[in-house]
A and B are shown apart, each in its own frame.
Chain A
């Protein structure tokens, strides 16, 4: 199997990863419920619904664990802050907000963000494209927008300035510092999604955060394509800045490109792969690689984007120019 072939299917792998992360966020609250049932030693007092949860979770976890009380504590939390086999991993945005709100640095917490920070500096906004639980919903939402557009509705056609999200990041830091509260927790979709799923399954139900998230979905659907991720998300802004000099980039092979512009259409972030313009906004989602009919797009290791290389050599523009020069 060649590397090109693998890259062409990376987008499917990405969807698999996104769905896995999302289903983990749904599974973990159920596992927590199962833990509490096991800790209570009162199986006969559970309601039929709770018994179903307990039984199914027992069936799921039995091959892997001995004691649910301790062994299931190995994986806890959400993408905002998680414990994975004893290692705490937190979102860098959580650390930024925490430092701004608390005005002092708590070293153990800083350490938990190191792995994501290093990964972002090497791989760019890879969290946005491959892990973020909100991305899954936003991409499905974008598919819905595409259907509506096909049906003739004028949905999500506007363009804003991508620099808006850096403003949101700075405003968030200022608000956090003034109010002494990590304001990002209330406006960062992956944090909201993780929490709200937990509330809905293990506690009383969805909270106010869900209303905010539904509004962002509506914003994406009505105003601008993937608008929240591109223009508002403070986490996206932070990751863009961290990943500005990322190593892993997508590049266009100008000798293969036929100027079909499918990449520009499929790019939900509104980037311009056709003119070699990926910039710091690219989240390496590989959708353009998957759609490219001539395999002109591929991953490369380079800390800078290529400058515009002109029309693709397989395209009619280039051919026309060649024939004119002859």
Chain B
């Protein structure tokens, strides 16, 4: 084989594998449901601000912050994420203090500052899976919530109702005793807060 043909072949293999990688990442983005750390900026801004120092995870007392490898594409490599079913965020707001580059702005650990600045997502109850909606009093999600009666309230038979102030910390999803979980956080990457 000539050297030129060999080099051309190598380049085409490399680019095609990169493209395949990217398309896989795009596909993953739909199915991979993750949260950014509390008070993180909107996704695009977050990615350009984050310098991948890993300090947010290093100060997290709950060890809920993990880091992407390549599973969410090259752009998310080494950025922090939280899988709420594994471990929810306890809203200690230490990651914001530790972040040097403002990707996670510092937010005081007060009720009103957290409600104003943290929009990780919003909890959604699947009534077909939820025990309380099936007549078996449960209420675990309500008890796990750090913002009881602000973010979630319970009605008859401890049926959970998520309010508009839910910040999406994921502790309810972590605590849900149903498999699969009846309450899930739908991430809000644009920080639109609906």
Binding site for B on A (CB under 8 A): 28-29, 32, 35-36, 39, 69, 73, 76-78, 80-83, 88, 90, 94, 97-98, 101-103, 106, 108-109, 112, 179-182, 185-186, 191, 194-195, 198-199, 202-204, 207-209
Contact = CB atoms under 8 A, between A and B. Distances in A.
Chain B: number of interface residues, binned into ranges:
20 to 34
B102 A207 contact: no
Given A195-B78, A207-B78, A182 B61 contact: no
A186 B59 CA distance: 22
B51 A185 contact: yes
Given A207-B69, A208-B69, A83 B55 contact: yes
A76 B59 contact: yes
Interface in B68-105: 69-70, 75, 77-78, 94, 98, 100-102
Contacts of B149: none
Contact of A83 (B52, B57, B98): B98
A180 B78 contact: no
A88 B100 contact: yes
Given A106-B101, A207-B78, A182 B52 contact: yes
B87 to A, nearest CB: 11
25 contacts: A28-B58, A36-B61, A39-B61, A69-B61, A73-B59, A77-B58, A82-B55, A90-B51, A90-B101, A94-B51, A98-B51, A101-B48, A109-B102, A181-B47, A181-B75, A182-B52, A185-B51, A185-B52, A185-B78, A191-B53, A195-B52, A203-B67, A207-B78, A208-B77, A209-B78
A191 B54 CA distance: 10
A83 B98 CA distance: 8
Contacts of A82: 55
B44 interface: yes
Contacts of B123: none
B78 A102 contact: no
Contacts of A35: 61
Given A36-B61, A198-B57, A208 B70 contact: yes
Contact of A94 (B48, B77, B94, B101): B101
Contacts, number: 113
Given A35-B61, A90-B100, A195-B78, A98 B49 contact: yes
B53 A77 contact: yes
B66 interface: yes
Contacts of A78: 53-55
A28 B49 CA distance: 24
B48 A32 contact: no
Most buried by B among A28, A73, A108, A181: A181
Q: Ordered nearest first, which 7 A-B pairs have the shortest CB separation?
A: A81-B53, A185-B52, A180-B48, A39-B61, A207-B69, A101-B48, A77-B55
B62 interface: yes
Most buried by A among B47, B50, B54, B66: B54
Contact of A81 (B62, B75, B100, B102): B100
B48 A81 contact: no
Interface in B5-61: 44-45, 47-55, 57-61
B72 to A, nearest CB: 12
Contact of A109 (B45, B66, B75, B101): B101
Nearest to B69: A207
B136 interface: no
B63 interface: yes
A185 B80 CA distance: 14
A94 B98 CA distance: 15
Contacts of B44: 180
A102 B49 contact: yes
B61 A76 contact: no
Contact of B98 (A76, A181, A202): A76
B75 A179 contact: yes
Contact of B63 (A80, A185, A191, A202): A202
A186 B77 contact: yes
A80 B55 CA distance: 10
A101 B70 CA distance: 20
A191 B48 CA distance: 17
A108 B102 contact: yes
Contacts of B45: 102
